[in-house]
Amino acid sequence: MKKVCMFGLGFVGLPLALSFAMRGCQVTGVDIDEQLVSDLNKGITHHLEFYEGKAIQEILQNQLTQDRFRAISDGSAAMRESDHIIVTIGIPVEEHKHDIGPLLEVCRTVGTGLKKGDLVLIRSTVIPGTTRDLILPLLEETSGLKAGQDFYLAYSSERIAEGRAFHEFEHMPAALSGINAQSTEKAMELMSLVTRAHITQASCMEVVEASKVIENISRDVDIAMVNEFARFCKAMGIDIFEVVAVANTHQRVQLLNPGPGVGGYCLPNALFYLLPKAEELGVDLNLLTTARQVNEAMPRYVADLVLRNLQVAPSQGKIAVLGIAMKDYSNDDRMSPALAVIACLQQSGCKVEAFDPAVPSCYDFKVDSLTGALTGAHGIVLLSLQNGIELMNLDLFRELMAPDLPFIIDTKNFYDPALLKEKGFRLERL
Ligand SMILES: NC(=O)c1ccc[n+]([C@@H]2O[C@H](COP(=O)([O-])OP(=O)(O)OC[C@H]3O[C@@H](n4cnc5c(N)ncnc54)[C@H](O)[C@@H]3O)[C@@H](O)[C@H]2O)c1
């Protein structure tokens, strides 16, 4: 029975910790957020994850009852009880600048508690080179031990999508590399407890670190491309969703759908993990930088669509925002485009009331019912789909909304245009 210590109990760390607990490991989860630690020990989480028909809440409660998982905020205490340490602390990005401080702070705690024979497996998304150039010397300095000889160190990228975490820990092919063969072997043994898919052993940790960042950026670029096509199609008076569907009948074309922007922790941050290394190496990343700018401009574009359809002065207008999450059926609103769309509308003077039953964050514009958001609204902007947002009750929508031809900005391609027309709505897509 392995004794696993999971640093970070967020969207990755919690389901990963429970995945190891479900396979019989003794797991101690560490998080700096005392409220989170207390909630988790009571079996409370807002995450929307499922495994084999069970919600994460039930899995958490089971593992707590069986004493295979507990959360604490004292990293040093957790280190004393564990020999397999997994780090899932992120590198936040604010105004395009990354902050590696929290990750290094955790590695300092890990180093201080490190014992001979321990394995440290980094699963955070990092600036390529971080594990060897920053984490390794920090662990050696704080522990007084020699990496590869006294303890093992490896990096494996985390590739899950929120909402599919348990399934993807098990079935998504993974990539891994350690600072030496024994480290790779130890990490492989640990990961294989959960991952049944193929685990590629890369030639060095930098390959795995860089591939993870590039995987994320490639999706950001793919989305930016269709978002730019959307602006072109709109100007031309043709429907982007239809254009994408037709283009995708080509056997070598696989366009994504456009959207109101790109949110969450992973895709928007990725470029800002590659740029510092590129600057150090003197490499331009012009295409990637432009793609990021295209996606960052989408919320303003969506807000302008709203304002163009509004038949009253913005200061007299009320807009119902449906869906605050960064993607469909998620509770995560970190860097959500919805927040940027709302900020743009508020800056223009509109009153905004937003509804999203899955997102736990509190905002002054957030209301706790669909009725509350729709009452008196001149228009709706649909930004993410969500269980608990009943979108087909269009007769009720009309009753609640302001009487003059209300509009719906449908960024999800959800509504049938003919139906909306019949129900007396103006529809605008991206
Ligand atoms: N969210 C995803 O879908 C996803 C997917 C793949 C990879 N990743 C990567 O995984 C990593 C974690 O992402 P996440 O979404 O789980 O982040 P998160 O913000 O949900 O979780 C990180 C947790 O670390 C905790 N933390 C911060 N500083 C700490 C400290 N000093 N000591 C202890 N705990 C501390 C935070 O309180 C938080 O609960 C990131 O590098 C991210 O890029 C995320």
Same domain, 28 and 174: yes
C-alpha dihedral sign at 95, 282, 88, 45: positive
**C-alpha to C-alpha distance for 3 and 372, rounded to whole angstroms:** 49
| 224 C-beta closer than 6 A to ligand 1 | no
C-alpha dihedral sign at 81, 87, 88, 91: positive
| 102 C-beta closer than 6 A to ligand 1 | yes
* Residue of 7, 9, 11 best suited for mutating to test ligand 1, as the one with most atoms within 8 Å of CB: 11
- What is the model's pLDDT at position 115? 97
Nearest CA to ligand 1 atom 40: 90
Long-range pairs for 387-390: beta carbons < 8 A, 24 or more residues apart: 387/329, 387/357, 387/358, 388/357, 388/358, 389/322, 389/323, 389/355, 389/356, 389/357
What letter represents residue 38's amino acid? S
| 162 C-beta closer than 6 A to ligand 1 | yes
Reported as a single tens digit per residue, the pLDDT across 348-384 is 999 999 999 999 999 999 999 999 999 999 999 999 9
Same domain, 9 and 115: yes
Distance (angstroms) between ligand 1 centre and the Cα of 152 equals 22
Distance (angstroms) between ligand 1 centre and the Cα of 281 equals 28
Distance (angstroms) between ligand 1 centre and the Cα of 349 equals 35
Reported as a single tens digit per residue, the pLDDT across 113-158 is 999 999 999 999 999 999 999 999 999 999 999 999 999 999 999 9
| 13 C-beta closer than 6 A to ligand 1 | yes
Question: What's the whole-number mean pLDDT along residues 262-276?
Answer: 96
Distance (angstroms) between ligand 1 centre and the Cα of 89 equals 4
| 113 C-beta closer than 6 A to ligand 1 | no
Report the percentage of the chain scoring pLDDT > 70: 100
Same domain, 174 and 297: no
Contact status, residue 402 vs residue 377, Cβ threshold 8 Å: yes
pTM: 0.95
232 within a domain of the structure (yes/no): no
Model confidence at 43, in pLDDT bands (50, 70, 90)?
Answer: very high
Looking up residue 168, the CATH number of its domain turns out to be 3.40.50.720
Hey, is 135 helix, strand or coil? Answer: helix
Same domain, 190 and 318: no
Mean of pLDDT over the chain: 97
| Cα–Cα distances in angstroms (integers) from residue 142 to residues 105, 194, 245, in the given order | 11, 30, 55
Give 219-253 as a DSSP string. Answer: HHHHHHHHHHHHHHHHHHT--HHHHHHHHTTSTT-
* Domain stops at, among 168, 186, 203: 203
- What is the model's pLDDT at position 332? 95
What letter represents residue 68's amino acid? R
217 within a domain of the structure (yes/no): no
Hey, is 400 helix, strand or coil? Answer: helix
| 268 C-beta closer than 6 A to ligand 1 | no
Same domain, 297 and 199: no
Label each residue of 274-301 as H, E or C: HHHHHHHHCCCCHHHHHHHHHHHHHHHH
Same domain, 169 and 49: yes
- What is the model's pLDDT at position 39? 98
90 within a domain of the structure (yes/no): yes
Q: Look at residue 93 and tell me whether its pLDDT is greater than 90.
A: yes
Q: At what angle are helices 240-247 and 205-236 packed, to 10 degrees?
A: 120
Model confidence at 190, in pLDDT bands (50, 70, 90)?
Answer: very high
Same domain, 339 and 192: no
Same domain, 31 and 168: yes
Model confidence at 405, in pLDDT bands (50, 70, 90)?
Answer: confident
Same domain, 197 and 302: no
Reported as a single tens digit per residue, the pLDDT across 15-27 is 999 999 999 999 9
**C-alpha to C-alpha distance for 31 and 41, rounded to whole angstroms:** 12
20 within a domain of the structure (yes/no): yes
Model confidence at 1, in pLDDT bands (50, 70, 90)?
Answer: confident
* Domain stops at, among 172, 203, 234: 203
Q: H or E stretch including 396?
A: helix 394-400
**C-alpha to C-alpha distance for 403 and 332, rounded to whole angstroms:** 34
Contact status, residue 369 vs residue 344, Cβ threshold 8 Å: no
Distance (angstroms) between ligand 1 centre and the Cα of 266 equals 10
- What is the model's pLDDT at position 116? 98
| 209 C-beta closer than 6 A to ligand 1 | no
Same domain, 33 and 160: yes
Nearest CA to ligand 1 atom 32: 32
Q: Dig out the tokens for 192 from the structure.
A: 């294989």
- What is the model's pLDDT at position 123? 98
Domain of 94, in residue numbers: 3-203
9 within a domain of the structure (yes/no): yes
- What is the model's pLDDT at position 404? 85
* Residue of 32, 209, 211, 361 best suited for mutating to test ligand 1, as the one with most atoms within 8 Å of CB: 32
What letter represents residue 96's amino acid? H
394 within a domain of the structure (yes/no): yes
Domain count, the chain: 2
Reported as a single tens digit per residue, the pLDDT across 315-357 is 999 999 999 999 999 999 999 999 999 999 999 999 999 999 9
- What is the model's pLDDT at position 298? 98
| 105 C-beta closer than 6 A to ligand 1 | yes
| 9 C-beta closer than 6 A to ligand 1 | yes
* Domain stops at, among 203, 234, 250: 203
Q: Look at residue 211 and tell me whether its pLDDT is greater than 90.
A: yes
Same domain, 181 and 302: no
Contact status, residue 85 vs residue 118, Cβ threshold 8 Å: yes
Q: At what angle are helices 337-347 and 286-309 packed, to 10 degrees?
A: 50
Question: What's the whole-number mean pLDDT along residues 192-198?
Answer: 98
Reported as a single tens digit per residue, the pLDDT across 110-120 is 999 999 999 99
| Cα–Cα distances in angstroms (integers) from residue 157 to residues 1, 90, 187, 201, in the given order | 24, 12, 12, 12
